[in-house]
Structure 1
Amino acid sequence: MTTTMGSLGSSPLRPALPAGPARSPERIVLALDPTPTSNAALRWTVERARRSRVVVDVLTVLKPDPVLGDVVIEEVMLNGERVLHHAADALRSVLDDDAFRTLLSWGSPAREILDASEDADLLVVGTGNANRTPVFHHPSMAVRLTTVGRTDLAVIPEDWQASAIPARVVAGISGGVDDRVTIAAAAREAERLGARLELLHSWNRASFAAAMGSELAMDFTLYEDAHRKILDAAVEEASEHYPELEVGGILSDVAVSRVLREAAEGAALLVVGSHGTTAFDRFFVGSTSHDVVAAPVCPTLIVRSRTRRSVEVPRRPRNDS
Structure 2
Amino acid sequence: MERIVLGYDGSAAAVAALKWTAERRGRSRAKVDVVNVISPMTRDRSLGIEQLADAETYLRERAPGMPVELHRLEGAMPDTLGGFARGVDLIVVGIDPGHLIRAAFAGLVPLELAMESTVPVCMVPAGWVETGGPVTVGVANDASSDSAVAFAARQARLMSTSVRLAHAWLMPTPAHYGSTALALAPDHELERHRVVLDDAMENLIEGHPSLAVDGELVRDSRAAALLKFAKTSSMLVIGTHHHGPLTGALLGSVAQEVLWRADCPVCVVPSDSRRAVLQ
CA distance in 1, matches of 2:125, 2:274: 27
- 1:140 pairs, out of 108, 111, 126, with 108
Q: Say if 2:48 is the partner of 1:80.
A: yes
Which is greater in Rg?
1
Displacement, 1:277? 3.8
Q: Say if 2:126 is the partner of 1:158.
A: yes
CA distance in 1, matches of 2:264, 2:19: 14
Q: Say if 2:270 is the partner of 1:304.
A: yes
Aligned residue number for residue 99 of structure 1: 67
Normalising by structure 2, report the TM-score. 0.89
Aligned residue number for residue 260 of structure 1: 226
Render the CA deviation track for 1:29-59: whole Å, top value 9, x for unaligned: 1001132221100000000111001101000
CA contact (8 A) 1:171 1:197 kept: yes
CA distance in 1, matches of 2:183, 2:119: 45
CA distance in 2, matches of 1:91, 1:161: 17
Displacement, 1:176? 1.1
CA contact (8 A) 1:261 1:296 kept: yes
The unaligned stretches of length 5 or more in structure 2 are none
CA contact (8 A) 1:127 1:294 kept: no
The unaligned stretches of length 5 or more in structure 1 are 1-24, 314-321
Displacement, 1:307? 5.7
Q: Say if 2:149 is the partner of 1:173.
A: no
CA distance in 2, matches of 1:312, 1:39: 28
CA distance in 2, matches of 1:47, 1:215: 54
Higher relative contact order (CA 8 A, sep 6+): 1
Render the CA deviation track for 1:162-219: whole Å, top value 9, x for unaligned: 34xx4211010112123332211111111111111110101123xx24x547999752
Q: Percent identity?
A: 27
Displacement, 1:151? 1.8
CA distance in 2, matches of 1:289, 1:301: 9
Secondary structure of residue in 2 paired with 1:34: coil
Aligned residue number for residue 51 of structure 1: 27
Secondary structure of residue in 1 paired with 2:26: helix
Q: Relative to structure 1, is the Cα distance of residues 215 and 231 closer, same or farther in structure 2, using a 3 angstrom cutoff?
A: farther
Aligned residue number for residue 114 of structure 1: 82
CA contact (8 A) 2:6 2:34 kept: yes
Aligned residue number for residue 35 of structure 1: 11
CA distance in 1, matches of 2:203, 2:66: 39
Secondary structure of residue in 1 paired with 2:278: coil
CA contact (8 A) 1:38 1:125 kept: yes
Aligned residue number for residue 8 of structure 1: none
Amino acid at match of 1:49: R
Q: Show structure 1 runs of 4+ deviating over 6 A.
A: 213-217
Aligned residue number for residue 241 of structure 2: 275
Normalising by structure 1, report the TM-score. 0.78
Q: Relative to structure 1, is the Cα distance of residues 221 and 98 closer, same or farther in structure 2, using a 3 angstrom cutoff?
A: closer
CA distance in 1, matches of 2:129, 2:159: 14
Aligned residue number for residue 317 of structure 1: none
CA contact (8 A) 1:167 1:193 kept: no
Amino acid at match of 2:74: W
Amino acid at match of 1:271: V
Q: CA RMSD in A?
A: 2.5
CA contact (8 A) 2:167 2:225 kept: no
